[in-house]
């Protein structure tokens, strides 16, 4: 389904994803929020590695670092096989998810390789600072700094500083939107938001009530993520409470929601609010999918299809 702001379709949970969730429940592992952050981070890396198919071949991957507001910011740069040396490629800044607490360059390596291959664009992933060690606004400050660096220096990577997209999943989608809004540059032509965080979970939506337990992302985990990220600060800041903030002036936006995701309704509301603010929004809904499905390509093809869909859209935008 691909259209402007559809009424959200409902569907049974993808059978393969349902089987994965049943197996996970039977293992009886402690909830994510009961784990020390370093343990939770390693578990996330291991899960992404175990449940994803080998990513497609791409041209080159290399590392660099830039000066960030809290010290050096590591970047991982992915170049497609189709790269032609005489031509500057469009560039995608990828901001990983993980609730502001877990997630890193390793957890999302396969995602970035897949996006690089299908979009045929340079992909730059940023290893921004994580909570609780570095609470808000460390993460959005780091992502903003990376975007400003790309605007000034993308050509040093073989990328076109006039053709930039910012993409993220979950917490990373929120950070992607915030960076694009803070920078307000015409060269940022597209924004890709995969199951974005858009409101504080203390105001649960129907999708939280339907999907807040047993579907990978839980209400308990989200409360832990947000509390760790905010560090006691108010959840009403416009860089956190997106649904209560000004969305005018954002670039063309592709937004994906999953039918069995606690964040489904806030993602849909964000698409509606952005559209009402004059943003060119394409909202794609995957009714049988769960949160974090982009990592589970060995379980179900829906996550890979999502990345292919977004890549095709990006190629039309930049």
Please state the separation of Cα 156 from the chain's center in Å.
25
For residue 51, what are its two tokens?
Answer: 């449940």
The reply to whether 200 belongs to the active site is no
Strand partners, 253: 191, 281
Looking at the DSSP bridge assignments, the partners of residue 285 are 257
- Whole-angstrom Cα distance, residue 220 to residue 212? 8
Beta bridge partners of 254: 192, 282
Residue 291: active-site member: yes
Inter-CA distances, 211 with 207, 222, 259, Å: 6, 12, 9
155 is catalytic: no
Which among 100, 62, 266, 279 has a CA at the least distance from the CA of 188? 279
Active site residue: 110, 170, 228, 297, which one? 170
Of the candidates 96, 118, 285, 291, the residue annotated as catalytic is 291
Is-contact 285 6, C-beta < 8 A?
A: yes
Catalytic residue among 261, 265, 285, 300: 261
Point out the residues that are catalytic: 170, 261, 291
């Amino acid at each position: 389904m691909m259209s402007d702001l559809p009424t959200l379709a409902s569907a049974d949970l993808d059978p393969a994803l349902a089987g994965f969730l049943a197996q996970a429940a039977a293992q009886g592992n402690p909830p994510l929020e009961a784990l020390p952050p370093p343990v939770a981070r390693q578990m996330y890396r291991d899960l992404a590695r175990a449940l994803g198919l080998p990513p497609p071949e791409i041209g080159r991957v290399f590392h660099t670092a830039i000066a960030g507001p809290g010290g050096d910011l590591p970047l991982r740069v992915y170049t497609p096989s189709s790269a032609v040396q005489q031509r500057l490629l469009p560039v995608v800044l990828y901001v990983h998810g993980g609730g502001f607490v877990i997630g890193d360059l390793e957890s999302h390596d396969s995602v970035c390789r897949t996006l690089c291959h299908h979009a045929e664009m340079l992909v730059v992933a940023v290893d921004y600072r994580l909570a609780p060690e570095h609470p808000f606004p460390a993460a959005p400050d780091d992502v903003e700094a990376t975007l400003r660096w790309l605007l000034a220096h993308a050509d040093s990577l073989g990328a076109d500083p006039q053709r930039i997209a910012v993409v993220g999943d979950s917490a990373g989608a929120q950070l992607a939107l915030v960076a694009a809004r803070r920078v307000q540059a015409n060269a940022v032509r597209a924004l890709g938001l995969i199951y974005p965080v858009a409101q504080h979970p203390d105001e649960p939506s129907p999708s939280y009530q339907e999907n807040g337990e047993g579907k990978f992302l839980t209400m308990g985990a989200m409360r832990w993520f947000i509390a760790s990220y905010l560090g006691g600060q108010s959840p009403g800041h416009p860089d956190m409470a997106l649904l209560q903030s000004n969305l005018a002036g954002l670039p063309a936006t592709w937004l994906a929601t999953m039918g069995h995701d606690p964040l489904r309704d806030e993602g849909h509301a964000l698409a509606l609010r952005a559209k009402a603010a004059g943003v060119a929004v394409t909202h794609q809904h995957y009714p049988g999918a769960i949160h974090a499905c982009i990592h589970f390509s060995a379980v179900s093809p829906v996550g890979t299809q999502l990345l292919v869909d977004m890549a095709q859209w990006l190629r039309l935008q930049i």
